[in-house]
Amino acid sequence: MKTILVPVDFSDNSKNALDYAIPLAKKLNMKLILLHAFHPSMMEALKDSLKVINHEDIIGTPADMKQLLNNWKEAVSKSEPGLKCESIFLESNLTDELNDLIDDYAIDFIIMGTKGATGLRSVFIGSNALKIIDTAICPVMAIPTDFKFKEYTTIAFASDYHDSDKFSIQFISEIAKPFNASLEVVHIANEDIKPRFEEDLLSNFMSGIKKEVRYEKMNFHLIEGEEDINTALNEFVSKNAVELLAVSTVDRLLHGPLFNRGVATNLAHHIQVPLLVFHAFDDGDIDLFD
């Protein structure tokens, strides 16, 4: 794992996401890339947030935004001299260019902020942040408003037994290792399946994962709560002191029973810890790590 992309709109929320990303990048020995996508329609929204770095009376031209982005990059480099930090200024809609940027800069995952009571439905860097989660070909970590980074002791992954879950779990284990954090894999039981069959499914899934992912501090859980996934996962997060929850969104073509895009959206509104979102896929000899 090498590079984290942090989209910034110079708001308090994107500053909070950056503050979260910095210690995580240091711990994982990764590079940060700050990205600003300039959108004329965002100028009024930006005016009140420029106070983040105490700039006054900035008109908000592309040159102003480019300078502001460079100021943020320089501030990171000055405060964290051992951390590699670069910046990208984009004069277009981010979601139109996002996957090309992910490929060109070998982005491993994205860290971004949510905003206010409306969560991910708020306008962010000229686009709806949900589109970033929906569009990005790499995982996206959404940081709740005002949530501060703390070293991971417990990371949870909500699994729906997709073929791609082994790659997601491998990815998460790479995040967990430097912290020596436990990795709790949880499946929410399907009420239409008899409990003993659910236990067999979990046992088979667990055996397969342990063959693929070599991480000692990994545990598996089967819990109830299909009718109210948000509540079930929030209770699990609270009970197990989870600092990061990961899920896989499901394309409609995959017909996943639980973790479809709507569920991920609802989690982003209700979960109280950072949410790491993957895209599920059916098949996969894809190596996420160099």
CATH number of 154-279: 3.40.50.620
SS3 call for 14 = helix
Comparing 88-102, 120-134, 167-181, 261-275, the range with the smallest average pLDDT is: 120-134
Structure confidence at residue 1 (pLDDT)? 74
Spell 149-178 as b/e; 16+ CB within 10 A means b: beebebbbbbbbebebbbbbbbbbbbbbee
What is the distance, to the nearest Å, from the Cα of residue 166 to the centroid of all Cα atoms in its chain? Answer: 17
Domain boundaries, the chain: 3-143, 154-279
**Model confidence at 179: pLDDT above 80:** yes
Spell 111-148 as b/e; 16+ CB within 10 A means b: bbbbbeeebbbbbbbbbebbebbbbbebbbbbbbeebe
Spell 31-42 as b/e; 16+ CB within 10 A means b: bbbbbbbbbeeb
Domain 3-143 has CATH 3.60.20.10: no
What the block records as the tokens of 176 is 């967990």
SS3 call for 228 = helix
pLDDT confidence of 268, banded at 50, 70, 90? low
Instruction: Output phi, psi for 5, to 5 deg.
Output: -100, 130
209 within 8 A of 241, measured Cβ to Cβ: no
Is-same-fold flag (3-143; 154-279)? Answer: yes
pLDDT confidence of 62, banded at 50, 70, 90? confident
pTM metric for this prediction: 0.83
Instruction: Output phi, psi for 247, to 5 deg.
Output: -140, 165
pLDDT confidence of 265, banded at 50, 70, 90? low
**Model confidence at 222: pLDDT above 50:** yes
Please state, for a pLDDT cut of 70, what percent of the chain lies above it: 76
pLDDT confidence of 115, banded at 50, 70, 90? low
